[in-house]
Amino acid sequence: MTESIRVENATKEFTLRYQRTFKQVSVALLKGRDISDTFPAVDDVSFTVKEGESIGLMGLNGSGKSTLLKMINGVMRPDSGTILTRGRIAGLIATGAGFHPQLSGRENIFLNAAILGMSEAETKRKFDSIVDFSGLAGKFIETPVGNYSSGQFARLGFAVAIHVDSDIFLADEVLAVGDRPFKKKCMEKMQEIRDGGHTLFYVSHAAGSVRKMCDRVLVLDQGKLAFDGDVDEGIRFLKYDDASDNDPDGDTDEDATDDELGADI
C-alpha cells in the first residue's frame, strides 16, 4: 500500500530564554549564568503511515504532539531528519489559525480556504455548505471574527477545513471547544473522511473517540515516540483506560468521560 506520510529521525528544538531585557542578559553573563537553553520538542521520531490509515496521536501535554503535526503540515520544518507527505493536506491544527480578526466570517472563509489550497471558484461552490456546517448563518457570518467566541472560531475553522478535498486530514484541538452537538457533527464528518479512504491524523486525550476513529495509536513522551501500535494497548500505555475498567462495553462511562474532558488536546 502507498505511503501517505514518512517521518525519519525528525527533530525540532526550541530555545528557552531566561532573561528578557539587555540589562538582565548583561548581568547574567557577568555572573556566569546561562541566558538560554534548548530543548527538543520532537526528538528523533520515525514512523510511516499508509494511505487510508487512521492514526491517533496521543501523549501528555507538552509531549510534542502539536509540534509534530505542524511539521507534517509544513508549517514548521524539522531541524534534522526528513518528513515526506503524499497528496493534499488539510485540517485544523489550531483554533482560529489563518483568520484575520478584522475581516468578516465571509471574508475569512475565502482567506482560509485559499491558505488551504482551494481556488476561489471551489470556495464559492462550497460556500453555502461551509456556512451551513458552521451554524454561523445570518448576521454572524458578516461579523468580524475578532468578535467571535472560541467556539465560533472552531466552528468556522473546522467547517472550512472539512470541505477541502484532501488526501490527508489533520485534526488538532478540533474538539477542544464547542458544544456537544457540534462535537458530534465533527466526529461524524471525520468518520466520513476515514471511511472514504483518506488518511486521518487525529490528536486527542479522549480515549473513547480515539477508539472510535483510529486503527493505530502513536504515543509521544517528552518528544520521543514511546509507543506505536494497537489502539487499546496505546491507551493502556498512557493509563487513559481507568474510566473504562468497570465498563466491559467501554461505551457509556467512556463517552461520559470524553464529554467531561471536552476532547481536550
More confident residue, 262 or 93: 93
- Asked whether the predicted pLDDT for residue 44 surpasses 80, the reply is yes
Calpha distance 183→151 (Å, rounded): 10
pTM equals 0.78
Averaged over 150-157, what is the pLDDT?
84
pLDDT of 126 over the 60 cut: yes
Q: How far lies 15's CA from each of 18, 36, 39, 120, 139, in Å? A: 10, 7, 7, 39, 44
Query: Residues 226, 45: contact at Cβ < 8 Å?
Result: no
User: What domains can be seen in the chain, in order of their start residue?
Assistant: 49-261 (3.40.50.300)
- Model pLDDT for residues 173-182, shown as the tens digit of each residue: 666 556 778 8
C-alpha cell belonging to residue 240? 487513559
- In one-letter notation, the amino acid at residue 78 is P
**Angle CA 32–37–40, to nearest 5:** 160
Confidence bin at 80 (pLDDT 50/70/90)? very high
CB neighbour list of residue 183: distance below 8 Å, 6 or more residues apart = 175, 263
pLDDT at 261: 42
- Asked whether the beta carbons of 253 and 199 are under 8 A apart, the reply is no
Instruction: Tell whether the model's pLDDT for residue 201 goes beyond 50.
Output: yes
pLDDT band for position 240 (cuts 50, 70, 90):
confident
